[in-house]
Amino acid sequence: MTMNILGYAAHSPTDDLVPLRFDRREARADDVVIEILYCGVCHSDLHSIRNDWGGAIYPLIPGHEIIGRVTSVGADVTRFRAGDNVGVGCMVDSCQHCAECEKGLEQYCEKGATFTYNSTDRIDKTITYGGYSEKIVVSENFVVRIPSALDIKAAAPLLCAGITTWSPLRHWKVTKGSTVAVIGLGGLGHMALKLAKALGADVTLFTRSVSKEDEARRLGADTVILSTAPAQMATVNRKFDLIIDTVPYAHDLNPYIPSLAIDGTIVLVGYLGGLDPVLQTVPLIMGRKAVAGSVIGGIPETQEMLDFCGEHGIVADVEMINIQDINKAYERMLKSDVHYRFVIDMASLKA
Ligand SMILES: NC(=O)c1ccc[n+]([C@@H]2O[C@H](COP(=O)([O-])OP(=O)(O)OC[C@H]3O[C@@H](n4cnc5c(N)ncnc54)[C@H](OP(=O)(O)O)[C@@H]3O)[C@@H](O)[C@H]2O)c1
Ligand SMILES: [Zn+2]
Ligand SMILES: [Zn+2]
C-alpha cells in the first residue's frame, strides 16, 4: 500500500516551498520504512528547486541529509529493525551489478544511480521525493547506521556534506602531514575542515568572508587566506597536495592554481557548469597539476565516514530550523550566511 504523507514541495523554480500531501511508494520486501526526525539543508536542494541544473520534476520535495528512526522493515531485511537510528543520503538505489556498483561506488553506477529526490524509481517508475517529509521508504542497501556516540541532529549533514568531502580526502590519500586547502566556508567547507584536520592534515581555508576567520580556526583551519587579497594568496605558493573547491557558482579558478604543489590536485565538488573565466593551462602543465571532480561517495564509504566520525566525535555545526522557515533559510544560504548547516527539525511539520 502506498502511504499518504505530508512534505514541503516546490511547484516551480520561482515559488517558495509549501506544504504538500503526497503518496510514498509501496514498501517492498527489501525496504526499510523510516520516520524522518531531522533533515539537513544542502545547497544542492536550492540548485534543484531553482532548476539550476535543468531536469527538475515538479512538485519537487528536496532533502538528502536524512536521519530517522526505523518504524518497520520488509520480510527480506536483515540489517535493520524497528527502533534503529539510521541515515539516508543522496542515493536510494543503483543497478547493483555494474563494475562501479561492485566496487561500492554506486554514485558512479554505469546505469546511473537513483537519487533521493527528483529521480525515477527503478522498479515502479514513481518519482522519488526527499527528506523534507514525514517518512521515507528505502532499500536497506542504501540505509546506513548512525554511531550511537553522535548527536543525531548534528549528524544529519554527514549524509551529504560529510561524505562529499570525505570521499576526495580518502581518494587522494590525505593523511598525517598532507597539506589540504578548502575553498568556501559553508556546509561542505566546514565538514572538509573538520575531516581533513582529523585525518592529520595541515589545513587552510580560502574564503571571501573576513568575518569567518576565527570560526574557521575553531573548525580546524591552521591558516585562513582571504581569496580576494593577492598578497595573502602569494603566501601559499606551491603549498597544497589537495584543494577541495566547494563554491556553488562559476568563479575564477586561475588564482588558486599557483598554490598547488607539484602533482597537486584541485577537486571541484561545487556544481559550476562551464568554467568562467577559462582556465589557463600553462600553470597546470608547468607543475604537473590536475583539475578533478567528485560526486558524493559510495555506500561503504559513507558508513566508513560515519564510523570515523563516531570514533572522533565529529558532527556538523548546525542551526536548527522549523520547516516553516525553510524559505528564509534559502535566502540566507544565497548570501553565504550559513553557520554552518541548517537542519530541519521534522517534528515542526506536525505543528
Ligand atoms: N559534488 C557533490 O557530490 C556535491 C554534494 C553536495 C553539494 N554539492 C555542491 O557543492 C556546493 C556547495 O554546497 P554547500 O551546501 O556547502 O553550500 P553553502 O553552504 O552555500 O556554502 C558555499 C560557500 O561557498 C562560498 N561561496 C558562495 N558563493 C560564492 C561565489 N560566488 N564565489 C566564491 N565563493 C562563494 C561561501 O563561502 P565563503 O563565505 O567562505 O567564501 C559559501 O558559504 C553546491 O554547489 C552544492 O550543490 C556537490
Ligand atoms: Zn547535498
Ligand atoms: Zn551500477
176 three-state secondary structure: coil
How far is residue 351's CA from residue 348's CA, in Å, rounded to a whole number?
A: 5
Cβ 47 under 6 angstroms from ligand 1: yes
In sequence order, what are the beta bridge partners of 260? Answer: 240
C-alpha of residue 42 to centroid of ligand 2, in Å:
5
Q: Using CA of residue 234, residue 236, residue 240, residue 246, what is the dihedral sign?
A: negative
Is residue 157 in contact with ligand 1, taking CB distance under 6 Å? no
Using the mean position of ligand 3's atoms as its centre, give its distance from the Cα of residue 111 in Å.
Answer: 6
Beta bridge partners of 206: 183, 225
> 217: part of which helix (H) or strand (E)?
helix 213-219
pTM score above 0.95: yes
For residue 333 and ligand 1, the question of a CB distance below 6 A is answered with yes
Q: Which residues of 139-167 are buried (b: 16+ CB within 10 A; e: fewer)?
A: bbbbbbebbeebebbbbbbbbbbbbbbbb
Distance 87 CA to ligand 2 centre (A): 14
CA–CA separation, 171 vs 173, rounded Å? Answer: 5
Residue type, 220: G
> pLDDT category, 351, cuts 50, 70, 90?
confident
Q: How far apart are CA 262 and CA 125, in angstroms?
A: 48
Out of 254, 336, 340, mutate this one to test ligand 1's pocket (max ligand atoms within 8 Å of CB): namely 336
Q: For ligand 1, is residue 270 a contact (CB within 6 Å)?
A: yes
Each residue of 46-67: pLDDT tens digit?
999 999 999 999 999 999 999 9
Q: Does the beta carbon of 338 lie inside 6 Å of ligand 1?
A: yes
Please state the φ and ψ torsions of residue 266, each to the nearest 5 degrees. Answer: -105, 120
The pLDDT of residue 263? 98
Name the E strands within the chain: 3-9, 18-24, 31-40, 66-73, 85-88, 91-93, 114-115, 135-139, 144-145, 179-183, 202-207, 223-226, 240-245, 260-268, 290-293, 318-322, 341-345
Of ligand 1's listed atoms, the one at least distance from the Cα of 297 is 3
Q: What is the pLDDT of residues 206-224, one digit of tens each?
A: 999 999 999 999 999 999 9
Q: What is the pLDDT of residues 111-133, one digit of tens each?
A: 999 999 999 999 999 999 999 99
> Is 198 or 274 the better-scoring residue by pLDDT?
198
State if residue 318 touches ligand 1 by the CB under 6 angstroms criterion. Answer: no
Measured between alpha carbons, how far is residue 163 from residues 129, 205, 254, 301, 316 in Å? Answer: 21, 19, 27, 8, 12
Grid cell at residue 105: 561506488
> Probe ligand 1: pick from 269, 301, 332, max atoms within 8 Å of CB?
269
